[in-house]
Structure 1
Amino acid sequence: EVPLNSAGKLDRKALPAPDFGTMSEEDYTGPEGDDETAVARVFADVLGLDRVSVTTSFFDLGGNSLSAMRLAARTGEVLGATVSVRDLFDAPTVRELVTAVAGAGEALAPITQADPRPDHIPVSFAQQRMWFMNQFDPDAPTYNIQAGAKLTGDLDTDALRQAVLDVVERHEVLRTTFPGVDGDPTQVIHDLEWAAEHLDWAIVDSEAGLMEAATRGFVVAEQSAFRVRLLRSQQGEWIFLAVLHHIVSDGESMGPLLTDIVTAYAARAQGHTPAFAPLPVQFADYAIWQHEVLGDPQDQDSVVGRQLEYWEDQLMGLPDVLELPADRPRPVTASAKGASIDFTVPRALGERIEQLAAEYGLTSFMVVHAALAVLLSRLTAADDIAIATPIAGRGDRVLDPMVGMFVNTLVLRSELEPMMAFSELLEEVRETDLDAFANADVPFEAVVDAVGAVRSQAFAPLAQVMLSVDHNPAAGAGAQQPVDVGSLTVEQIEPPTAFAQRDLSITVRTVAGRDWPAGMVYATDLFNEATMVTFAQRFLTLLDSLTDDPDGAIGAAQFLVAQEHSSLVDWSSGQSTAPVPGDGGGVPGVAHSGDRANGNDGVSDN
């Protein structure tokens, strides 16, 4: 029996939740031949499964846009062929993918140690923009990244300092400076003696000391872009804070960084030297590989040169800035001061997003992206919407354990009409996102130059709103469980402050069978907290409305939050005054930043 609603359409709300239990032998089809065996192993490794059936879709097994890019790169590596994300969407099973890419072009050369290295080691594509931004204003903390941990128990501070130095020795990028040579940034890697002498390490006596470290910039041409602070918050409890400039680190680097520090401390506390597994390559090797294999964006015959043509066609003529309704005029120079709020995508809504994604051959990211584009269009009355999204840039397995700046930024452009159905927008977003992922090697800075985007100190170029949708199957179920190291317990905590690199950055983490934690970092130059709370509720309301009726017009989707709808009905009947604009107080599922002091910690910035 298929449940129907009053209009005779499928009633999605009445459908039972799918049961993705343990795969039975009847559901499992084993690989045949060396290629299927190798690709099945890659599928299982990327998805964190023991095995996969070669006839089951990658996306039915929990795959998403981020893991799809990783899978495409690693499948290409084992098959020795060029494999794109679009190939995976068109052929999402092991068997289909092996057949689809048979005879495809050769894969890119693997990332290996550069021997010998050039006299002037270039920076990576992603580092170039960080370098130019730092030259412009080295004191700005806008691109500081933080990792914090609470240490409970007996701490040996000398062992911890030595452990930090062990990690600096392990990752060359943490002892690298970036001077310019003839106007171009280069990497200068220093020895351990230099690193020990210049390590920015201090034990502070107040939270102000942590804040000072977090909010002070780096002169990356001369200084190590890494500093550490330690605060004894109370007897038997310490706060550890690592601050890095984005030129040497990204969000995915925080895991390897903290893991290596904990590993090194465990050894040093026992009087031993840590026995790390050797890194296959260093970050400098990766940067050299990019320039040698991917080439120069100005060379039309290079990999990135060919990809740049796509971005010129896709983004040419994009409006310079999307002006969201703000509480204050945009300043001439953005301060980068930010604040954050947390909100929750209810489990039922998250499951409906996943069901809709499966129905249309999408990912959850694409559904959320389309809904956010509708929201921005409704808020601004604009029909040309650009949303930025970060991509990890870590497709190759050898990059997984490394600290470094691998992330790139893609700009996803959507043209909307109020009468178009949400299902129609989903199809267009699917094509836009897949094309963007297929041309993701071009550095963001090269795209900005190629399309002639306005550069301003007041707003980010090309897109002022960023969206990140991450898959985190363990979130809420021990994703950041404390780790015991001898008599010390280490627990990851939220960093002390947020910086607004754009007007608004939204993060959603999908979690199987649970509510989805989400958060926003916003520019306090422009917005008040109450405005952002209302923004979050509008987003949830619109997501609910659009996914409930994907065949409905996007311009007719429910947009008002509950209080506004009730107040508007009263106002239109003469029973009440007009609703108060931007009044987000008491919105269910949305935590004010002040709630953090009460222990309601949630997702922070990317």
Structure 2
Amino acid sequence: MKATAVPPTALQDIVARLVRLPEEKQTLFLRRLREQGIDPARLPLVPFPQGEEAPLSFAQARLWVLWTLDPASPAYNLHRTLRLAGDLDRDALDGAFTALVARHESLRTVFRAVDGDARQRVLPPAPVAVPVEDLSALAPDEREEAARRIVAEEAERPFDLTAGPLLRLRLLRLDGREHRLSVTMHHIVADAWSMAVAMAEFARLYAARRQGGDAGLPALPVRYRDHALWQRRLVEAGELERQRAYWLDALAGDPPALDLPADHVRPALRSGRGATVAFTLDAGLAGALRGLARAHGATLFMVLLAAFQALLYRCTGQTDVRVGVPVANRDRAETEGVIGLFVNTQVLRARVAGNLSFAALLAEVRRTALAAQANRDLPFEQLVEALQPERSLSATPLFQVLHNHLRDTATAAQALPGLAVEPVEAPLTAIGVDLTLDTAEAADGSVRAALSYATDLFRRATAERLRDRYLALLRQVAAAPERPVGDLALLLPDEAQALAATNAPSPGFDGVLLAERIAAQAAARPDAPALVCGDTVLDFAALEERANRLAHELAARGVGPEVRVAVALE
């Protein structure tokens, strides 16, 4: 049905009528709107009357299930550490976080199972006292080491979703003018965007308390549980059926597990432990890739994703390459300043072949990404439910590799009066998939990147080689985008040298092949021993006869030049 254009004021009136309806009639109202050509997904998001408990969003429901399966896992902890140098006002610190938690319901939400149905419950605001650990009595080098150890422990310490709080703070005092502030949240109440919101608002609230003024933060138009309820209303009204149909078609067929060459056997239950290899695309390379993107009507993200999928194809030989891509999912202005789990995950599929040029692959990735954005409202959890992939505790459904293209927030320090603030990069210790590529465009034109890997599967040296192959591939496609993907050189310099040495002819080689030498011996000395295996002895005549018989048999089965034949030997 063709969509009906409705003025914004009329949309506000429609929503006002919807909110006043009893809960059991809201779904019917939305269905009738759709029949009239009004897209309910485009209605403004407004607060809904709700009690103390509310349903979970679909993303929260998935994380709740994962937590119940493994409550001790740190895989879904979000962590940030700030170095604070200068005159820290402890009262302003506590007051800022007290105000932040009172402002955002998600930061005082807990989760309970009620008659088998998980519900979120918002607790009343309460004062926040940031716990302090004094390390100043230690020697300077011991303080730094203790701070690193404690921060790493904070990042890995699990949360109890039923008891809370799901915002965990800790202040480490190294001396009178040097502190580390550790901030950890569970992913069920926040996402990366939310962490940036929390840090920005904390800075404004701290400054206001330090200076005796008003932080000037605008009132939040909605709460996270309004989003959760609205999401379920849209599903009940059938609004997402069209998008579900798109994704079912786009991801048709059994999703192949991406079989990356691993160092260890995949465990029956993944531990969630991970590590990271950081690297940078310098401004020159990043600029060349941006130029490539402009020439093909694409974005830098699309170029980086296409190159990543080309790398995965070359490493696995699999032509159906599916990569998970997180999207902020905050297309409504009402949600921009709300802390909560809004992020959605899309599965972007590329069909790669060795004779396909990189430019053609980029065009396919561009089409796929744009179509995905046009169908971005379907929650990932609904997609998993619709596709019904085989479930396993050893791997994630639908994809095993993630690409996350971010705003560069790690280098943006928040200004605090009397303090120099610097983000501290904490080592990643948990990961939810096999492999994650994070990329972020920096102000100097470079691209900060990190390749995170599951230590259950990969050693660091393997991740470093994957990183180096990715960089080598990016340099080649920037210079020659029409080059076929199968012709892109992925061997690293040391590997190329080793291969050349292996294939080099030995000194004094006269060009006579081993088979020819054996044939000559069979003619000249047919009875001489050629092979000995235990008590069995073959002379040259018998060896030549057996070899010829086997060769004819293989040729009859279609074996010719450059055809590989497996050989089983003791």
2:500 to 566, 569, 574: 569
Instruction: Summarize the alignment of residues 441-480 of structure 1 with structure 2, pairs less than 5 Å apart.
Output: 441-470=377-406, 472=408, 479-480=411-412
Q: Report the Cα offset of residue 460 of structure 1.
A: 1.4
Distance 2:242 2:429 in 1: 37
Encode CA deviations 1:138-187: one digit per residue, 9 max, x unaligned: 22111000121111112232331222111000101111112123333222
Contact 1:178–1:221 (CA<8 Å) still a contact in 2? yes
Code of the residue aligned with 1:336 in structure 2: it is G
Instruction: Summarize the alignment of residues 543-558 of structure 1 with structure 2, pairs less than 5 Å apart.
Output: 543-558=474-489
Which runs of 5 or more structure 1 residues have no equivalent in the other structure?
Answer: 1-74, 82-103, 577-606
Code of the residue aligned with 1:551 in structure 2: it is E
In the other structure, the counterpart of 1:291 is 232
Q: Report the Cα offset of residue 230 of structure 1.
A: 0.8
Contact 2:52–2:122 (CA<8 Å) still a contact in 1? no
Contact 2:110–2:122 (CA<8 Å) still a contact in 1? yes
Instruction: Summarize the alignment of residues 490-509 of structure 1 with structure 2, pairs less than 5 Å apart.
Output: 490-509=421-440
TM-score, normalised by the number of residues in structure 2: 0.76
Instruction: Using the TM superposition, name which of 164-173 and 443-452 deviates more.
Output: 443-452
Among all aligned residue pairs of Structure 1 and Structure 2, give the percentage whose two residues are the same amino acid. Answer: 35
In the other structure, the counterpart of 2:87 is 154
Distance 2:9 2:42 in 1: 13
Distance 1:76 1:556 in 2: 53
Q: Residue 244 in 1 paired to residue 180 in 2? A: no
Relative distance call for 1:377 and 1:236 in structure 2 (3 A) is same
Q: Report the Cα offset of residue 433 of structure 1.
A: 1.5
Distance 1:554 1:310 in 2: 28
1:190 to 123, 129, 136: 123
Q: How many residues align?
A: 466
In the other structure, the counterpart of 1:219 is 160
Distance 1:358 1:513 in 2: 19
Distance 1:127 1:229 in 2: 25
Contact 1:390–1:408 (CA<8 Å) still a contact in 2? yes
In the other structure, the counterpart of 1:304 is 240
Encode CA deviations 1:62-105: one digit per residue, 9 max, x unaligned: xxxxxxxxxxxxx9997999xxxxxxxxxxxxxxxxxxxxxx96
1:202 to 122, 125, 131: 131
Q: Report the Cα offset of residue 506 of structure 1.
A: 0.5
Relative distance call for 1:277 and 1:361 in structure 2 (3 A) is same
1:399 to 335, 354, 361: 335
Code of the residue aligned with 1:304 in structure 2: it is L
In the other structure, the counterpart of 1:125 is 58
Distance 1:215 1:279 in 2: 31
Relative distance call for 1:453 and 1:525 in structure 2 (3 A) is same
Contact 1:204–1:210 (CA<8 Å) still a contact in 2? no
2:171 to 222, 230, 244: 230
Distance 1:80 1:378 in 2: 53
Q: Residue 408 in 1 paired to residue 344 in 2? A: yes
Q: Secondary structure at the match of 1:547?
A: helix
Q: Report the Cα offset of residue 201 of structure 1.
A: 4.2
Code of the residue aligned with 2:488 in structure 1: it is A
Q: Secondary structure at the match of 1:212?
A: helix
Code of the residue aligned with 1:202 in structure 2: it is P
Distance 1:449 1:115 in 2: 27
In the other structure, the counterpart of 2:461 is 530
Contact 1:173–1:403 (CA<8 Å) still a contact in 2? yes
Q: Report the Cα offset of residue 571 of structure 1.
A: 3.0
Contact 2:281–2:448 (CA<8 Å) still a contact in 1? yes
Q: Secondary structure at the match of 1:310?
A: helix
Segments of 4+ moved more than 4 angstroms: 75-81, 104-107, 270-275
Code of the residue aligned with 1:522 in structure 2: it is Y
In the other structure, the counterpart of 2:536 is none
Q: Report the Cα offset of residue 327 of structure 1.
A: 1.4
Q: Report the Cα offset of residue 511 of structure 1.
A: 4.1
TM-score, normalised by the number of residues in structure 1: 0.72
1:282 to 209, 223, 233: 223
Relative distance call for 1:361 and 1:275 in structure 2 (3 A) is closer
Instruction: Summarize the alignment of residues 137-148 of structure 1 with structure 2, pairs less than 5 Å apart.
Output: 137-148=70-81
Encode CA deviations 1:438-488: one digit per residue, 9 max, x unaligned: 22211112212211212222111111111122355x98xxx4246241x22
Which runs of 5 or more structure 2 residues have no equivalent in the other structure?
Answer: 12-36, 135-145, 508-570
Contact 2:203–2:414 (CA<8 Å) still a contact in 1? no
Distance 1:114 1:233 in 2: 44
In the other structure, the counterpart of 1:440 is 376
Contact 1:172–1:282 (CA<8 Å) still a contact in 2? yes
Contact 1:338–1:524 (CA<8 Å) still a contact in 2? yes
Instruction: Summarize the alignment of residues 16-31 of structure 1 with structure 2, pairs less than 5 Å apart.
Output: none
Q: Residue 253 in 1 paired to residue 194 in 2? A: yes
In the other structure, the counterpart of 1:418 is 354
In the other structure, the counterpart of 2:31 is none
Distance 2:501 2:280 in 1: 29
